[in-house]
Amino acid sequence: MDRSEIIRLLEQYGRGELKLDETAEMLSRGGLEEMGFATLDTDRHSRTGIPEVIYSEGKTPQQLADIAGRLFTRGIPILATRATREKYEAVLEQVPGAIYHEMARAIVYRAEEHPPSEKYIAVVSAGTSDMPVSEEAAITAEFLGSRVERIYDVGVAGIHRLFHRMDLIKSASVIIVVAGMEGALASVVGGLVDKPVIGVPCSTGYGANFGGVSALLAMLNSCAAGVSVVNIDNGFGAACQAHLIAKESE
């Protein structure tokens, strides 16, 4: 439990919102909160720089809402990935002010906004069909406190579109490249910039794309230096990595 959360609990106790034994119980939990069907890691942000994030698939709307509600009462920012609108409606009952980002399939709640930064992460996508994964990356990075510039639909089939946006891409601290089909865009960008490139292979594509496996293998076999790769469709993981890199460069 970090200092700000301890202060918040003591303030709640001082206002009479928590009883003495409730406050003592929360202070003694050691960063864990048992819910029966879930165990919340409430100290993750102070330990890793990234708070507990809820993966929504496989959870019922009520389970997701209960987890989000518990984080809300603890003052922990909320990000739920791969969420449906039905699950968002359930969360909204316990977390007033939560926002649903349809394209990214993400539920976000922050009590405080981050101050703007001059440095930014560029999220570059090959095609419009890659936008759900690209937006998951962008929304996650913004949730974590990074500024994001979106450069979409600049794939290799019309590579002049990429060159038209290269000044914006080259000025980024970190570049996330989302591409399906053959996944060539990560290598192309990696060969043009002097910044870390994080490739996100996307499941967009016809049969021989094998649900993103072809793009994954292409990115893993990139001959461009400085390209790292996350799992298929893992915009969230790419954003976390990019945020930590960008934070170190500030």
- The candidate with the shortest Cα–Cα distance to 185, out of 241, 134, 249, 139, is 134
Which residue ranges form the domains of the chain, and what is each CATH number?
A: 31-109 (no CATH), 121-249 (3.40.50.1970)
Are the C-beta atoms of 211 and 203 separated by less than 8 Å? yes
- The candidate with the shortest Cα–Cα distance to 72, out of 111, 107, 27, is 111
pLDDT, position 50: 81
Distance of CA 159 to the CA centre of its chain: 27
pLDDT, position 14: 84
The half-sphere exposure of 136 on its side-chain side, counting CA atoms within 13 A, is 21
Residues of the chain with pLDDT under 70: 1-4, 26-36, 39, 45-46, 116, 249-250
Q: Tell me the pTM.
A: 0.83
